Structure 1
Amino acid sequence: MNNEKVNSLQQARDKIDQIDVALIELIASRQFYVDQAMRHKQTVEDVQSPQRVKEVIEKVRTLALQHAVDPDMVERLYHDMIQHFIQRELKEFRP
């Protein structure tokens, strides 16, 4: 990660805008692989996979702490994203 000091509000906003583009691209990639994983799921339980959700949440909370980011905020973001993907999968799921 390249955290460099900026000299103005506009520079900070430009950096934030660049990060937003990167975040959206990463979410799109995550969605692509969620779609790929769905092809290998056999049951609704496989789609909902509470144990996997728990593992992911624990992992991202740990990563957040390692990067000095609020783990509660990260958990909420991931919870919302995961629930969205689960609902999306359930709409498409054909056992």
Structure 2
Amino acid sequence: MTQSEKPLSPDSAMPDLRARIDALDARLVALLAERTALIDEAARIKSREDLPARIDSRVEEVAANVRRLALEHGADPDMIETVWRVMMDHFIAQEDRQLSPGVQR
């Protein structure tokens, strides 16, 4: 039996740690849902102001901001930037669908 296959002892700290991680995941999902709603609002504003879904200068500004925040919080800035770029690509696609209804993607 390898170390990773060993059952946890009843007094192990792992269940408590896993509960904390699960609670944090729930908060992160709620925050991402809130960000999704803000992106919907951004799409409405962009539609009204005839702006594109992707504004490269803003993408780079957000990437720089999250790198700085990652460093301030002791997190890996490369990992954070990678996660945010994936997230930004998703949200830009979300905006693009709202700005171009009826266009097949």
TM-score by length of 1: 0.86
Residue 43 of structure 1 deviates from its aligned partner by 2.9
1:83 to 73, 89, 94: 89
Which residue does the alignment assign to 2:51?
A: 43
CA RMSD, aligned part only?
1.5
Cα shift readout 1:33-85 (whole Å, capped 9, x = no counterpart):
011011111132xx101000100000000000000000000001100000001
One-letter amino acid of the structure 1 residue matched with residue 89 of structure 2: Q
Unaligned stretches of 5+ in structure 2? 1-11, 101-105
TM-score by length of 2: 0.79
Query: In the alignment, is residue 32 of structure 1 matched against residue 34 of structure 2?
Result: no
Which residue does the alignment assign to 1:93?
A: 99
Percentage of pairs with the same residue: 37
Q: How many residues align?
A: 87
SS at match of 1:48: coil
Which residue does the alignment assign to 2:23?
A: 18
Q: Which ranges of 4 or more aligned residues in structure 1 deviate by more than 4 Å?
A: none
Distance 1:18 1:31 in 2: 20
Larger Rg: 2
SS at match of 2:75: coil
SS at match of 2:58: helix
SS at match of 2:45: coil
SS at match of 1:39: helix
